[in-house]
Structure 1
Amino acid sequence: MIHLGTIGFAYPGWTGSFYPPGTKPEDRLARYARQFNTIEIDTTFHAMPPRDRVERWAQVTPDGFTFSVKTPRNITHEGLVGADLTLSLMCEFLDTMRELGDKLGIVLLQFPPSFVSVRRQDLIKLLDVLDQAGQGIRFAIELRHDSWWSDDTVRLFRERNIAWAAVDQPTVAVSGVSPDDAAYQGDKRAPRPLIVTSDFLFIRWVGHHDQIPTDNAEVVDPTPRLDWWMRQLRPFLRDESPVRNIYGYFGNNYAGHAPASCRRLMSLLDLPAPPPLELTDSSQGSLF
């Protein structure tokens, strides 16, 4: 299955471009779930949500909808200070996320660029924690320092069926350019090839924070770049592929409006999508 959605759903600028005018904040998620079959919740990175909020997420979304959730920063960025503390924090987080039931898709652990491969033993200790606390849960890990790109890391993840999260973070100047284009050469944020370490893929089309001044319309046409991604994904869309599920999420900073970018990729993949919610603004979140 292919699960495509956005990173977050509660952006005020989406009212009138994705949500109908007058949509109440408490109604956004239910309306969102009429358009996409998954979402990445990244507010969990900043604070542990109360259980009743997580229960409500599950209640207002339809059967078959999935949530991917970002592990709190006090584990990935500020944690790893001791196995007992990390285990306690991770257990608390995962127990809360289990309130989603079968709608819990993937738990993402994103590490900072300062987390380098000389701390491999710290990562192994955390993976041991996941083995204890995460029974029945699937994990993806995002590593951002170049030193991790090695066969050792691949083996470490494959042993546990953990996905190596793929991330596309172009600068605005190249957001609409294929990574194969000569104009792109030299940009240090070129997306890396997909590395398969599990029976699912986890991809984040992020962009760079605060480099696009809008969240209600695409101001860059990402089609050439998404065409490149289509070529990377095509081998995994065949019946004989060992990859059984693909999870992918767009941020507003990728092109200016995550829902429009997500719909654009769905169209390239020939995936059916319900018509956009009726809006008084006919732009539907895209200038292209």
Structure 2
Amino acid sequence: MVAPIRRWPATRTRPICRSTALPTAWPASTSTPDVVTALPPRFITGCPLWSEPAWGGQLYTRGSDADERLAQYSRVFGAVEGNTTFYSLPSAARVARWAELLSEDFHFCAKLPREVSHGGRLDADHPALRAFFSRMAPLEQRLGPIWLQLPERVAPDALGILAEFLAGLPADYQYAVEVRHPGFFRKDDAERQLNRLLHGRGVERISFDTRALFASTATDPSTLEAKQRKPRLPVHAIALSQRPSVRFIGGMDRDANWQALAPWLDKCVQWLQAGYQPMLFMHTPDNQMAPQLARDFYHALRERVPALAPMPAWPGEREAAQTPQQAGLF
């Protein structure tokens, strides 16, 4: 029997950072590290998936199975987009296995089922929602922020429905919302009302940056497919909770991606200085370059914020470096 969904507490107070558009050009950087005080800063980065065959021999060891890939991925990155839960719930045995493999400080950012977000009116009593929380419960503190990805048809006139839905979610978890209707990106009353609603609930608004993808002139099938599937919307860098969240969708050109990523470097430094824990997820059209892009960004950020912990070595690269030495012993 699934326990009834608990309601939010009467008040939730979180710091807020006003929405600001990202600069179109990256200013010249200095060699002086930025100073971050108080508690050691934490920047959380990851990819849209953890199991990609092309990453074998690099991120993870060759011949690794699905469980080994997740374990090795989670030793390097602090989060992953849980896109699988958008389409269907994993088995109870699979979730239990994930809980065994993941460290306690890992963030499994599962998406709410599409039956809930795309199936009609948002309903906090939807059976699929109850099934989701029941199935994912073994992840405990590893679950979240939980993502609600709204379709483009959810417009500003649906804010009342969204408010009612958020009020009905369990208070045990953190949440983040991604909106795609153009009416939420005009820096007007509709956008301000959305931001106030989310901030009042301690819910983050996901920044979705596809500029590098749509600036790409590549004509490979992966890029063309990504352009068809991804929205093209303005980018507003915003923090409504302790974990501002960014999804960066790059192209196939590494240099062009880095040029588009550079403004986020300044923004993440600002967030870290303010005591936030930014989350940034890297995508490329086929995602083969996503881990390297995430690592490049982390290293660049750590040059600015030396107090960040170093990113662990990649198991696949470590294995490759050790193999010739071991072979020479025989």
**1:2 maps to what in 2?**
43
Contact 1:219–1:255 (CA<8 Å) still a contact in 2? no
Deviations 1:152-188 (A, max 9, x none): 1111111101001111113546359xxxxxxxxxxx9
Partner amino acid for 1:220?
R
Counterpart Cα distance in 1 of 2:149 and 2:209: 14
> Where in structure 2 are the equivalents of 1:111-260 lying within 5 Å?
111-130=150-169, 134-149=170-185, 150-170=191-211, 172=213, 174=215, 189=232, 191-207=234-250, 219-221=253-255, 222-238=257-273, 241=274, 243-253=275-285, 256-260=288-292
- Residues in 2 aligned to 1:128 and 1:41: alpha-carbon distance in whole angstroms: 23
Normalising by the residue count of structure 2, what TM-score does the alignment of the two structures yield?
0.70
Could you give the per-residue CA deviations for residues 116-164 of structure 1, whole angstroms, max 9, x where no partner exists?
122223212321222xxx1220000000112124111111111101001
Counterpart AA for 2:254 = V
Rg: which structure is higher? 2
What SS does the aligned partner of 1:273 have?
coil
SS of 1:33 mapped into structure 2: helix
Cα offset, 1:8, TM superposition: 0.9
Aligned partners of 1:24 and 1:83: how far apart in 2?
37
Deviation at 1:235, TM superposition (A): 1.6
Query: How far apart are residue 281 of structure 1 and its match?
Result: 7.7
Alpha carbons of 1:232 and 1:254: their partners in 2 closer, same or farther (altered >3 Å)?
farther
SS of the equivalent of 1:63 reads coil
- Whichever residue aligns with residue 27 of structure 1, its letter is E
- Cα contact 1:169–1:254 (8 A) shared by 2: no
| CA shift in 2, pair 1:236/1:254, >3 Å | farther
Give unmatched runs, 5+ long, in structure 2.
Answer: 1-41, 186-190, 218-230, 303-307, 322-330
Q: Larger relative contact order (C-alpha < 8 A, sep ≥ 6)?
A: 2
Post-superposition CA distance 1:168-225 (Å, at most 9, x none) = 113546359xxxxxxxxxxx93652212222221111134xxxx6xxxxx64322212
Q: Distance in 2 between matches of 1:81 and 1:234?
A: 36
How many positions carry a matched residue from both structures? 254
Runs of at least 4 residues of structure 1 off by over 3 A?
81-84, 188-191, 278-282
